Amino acid sequence: MKIVKFTVPHSNDSIVMEKDVLPFFYNHFHQHEEMQITLIIKGEGTLVIDNYRQRFKEGDIYFISANQPHIFLSDKSYFDDNKDGSVSATHLYFKIENALFKDKNIPEMEQIIHFIKNVNYGMQVPTENANEVKNKMQRMETTTGLSRLMNFIDLLDYLSINLKEYTSLGSGVQKKHQQVTGDIRIDRIYQYSIEHYHQDISLDKIAELCHMTPQAFCKYFKKHTSKTYVTFLQEIRINAACDIMINGKYEGISSIAFSTGFNSVIHFNKVFKKLLGITPGAYMKKFSASQISLESAG
Position 295 in a domain: no
Confidence band, pLDDT 50/70/90 cuts, at residue 8: confident
pLDDT over 50 (residue 151): yes
User: What domain count does the chain have?
Assistant: 2
118 shares a domain with 194: no
CATH number of the domain that residue 121 is part of: 2.60.120.280
Confidence band, pLDDT 50/70/90 cuts, at residue 89: very high
219 shares a domain with 167: no
113 shares a domain with 34: yes
163 shares a domain with 83: yes
272 shares a domain with 140: no
221 shares a domain with 192: yes
From 155, 176, 197, the end of a domain falls on: 176
What range defines the domain where residue 67 resides? 4-176
Each residue of 191-208: pLDDT tens digit?
888 889 999 999 999 999
226 shares a domain with 126: no
Position 297 in a domain: no
200 shares a domain with 143: no
pLDDT over 80 (residue 250): no
Position 237 in a domain: yes
Position 100 in a domain: yes
> According to the model, what pLDDT value does residue 173 have?
55
Mean pLDDT of the chain: 84
Position 165 in a domain: yes
115 shares a domain with 83: yes
CATH number of the domain that residue 242 is part of: 1.10.10.60
**Mean pLDDT across 27-42:** 91
219 shares a domain with 140: no
**What pTM, to 2 d.p., does this model score?**
0.66
CA distance 262 to 238: 10
From 176, 205, 221, the end of a domain falls on: 176
From 176, 196, 227, the end of a domain falls on: 176
Confidence band, pLDDT 50/70/90 cuts, at residue 190: confident
pLDDT over 80 (residue 56): yes
210 shares a domain with 226: yes
Position 298 in a domain: no
Confidence band, pLDDT 50/70/90 cuts, at residue 102: confident
Position 264 in a domain: yes
Position 254 in a domain: yes
> According to the model, what pLDDT value does residue 212 have?
93
Q: What percent of the chain has pLDDT over 90?
A: 43
171 shares a domain with 26: yes
Each residue of 278-298: pLDDT tens digit?
899 888 776 665 444 434 444
> According to the model, what pLDDT value does residue 175 have?
55
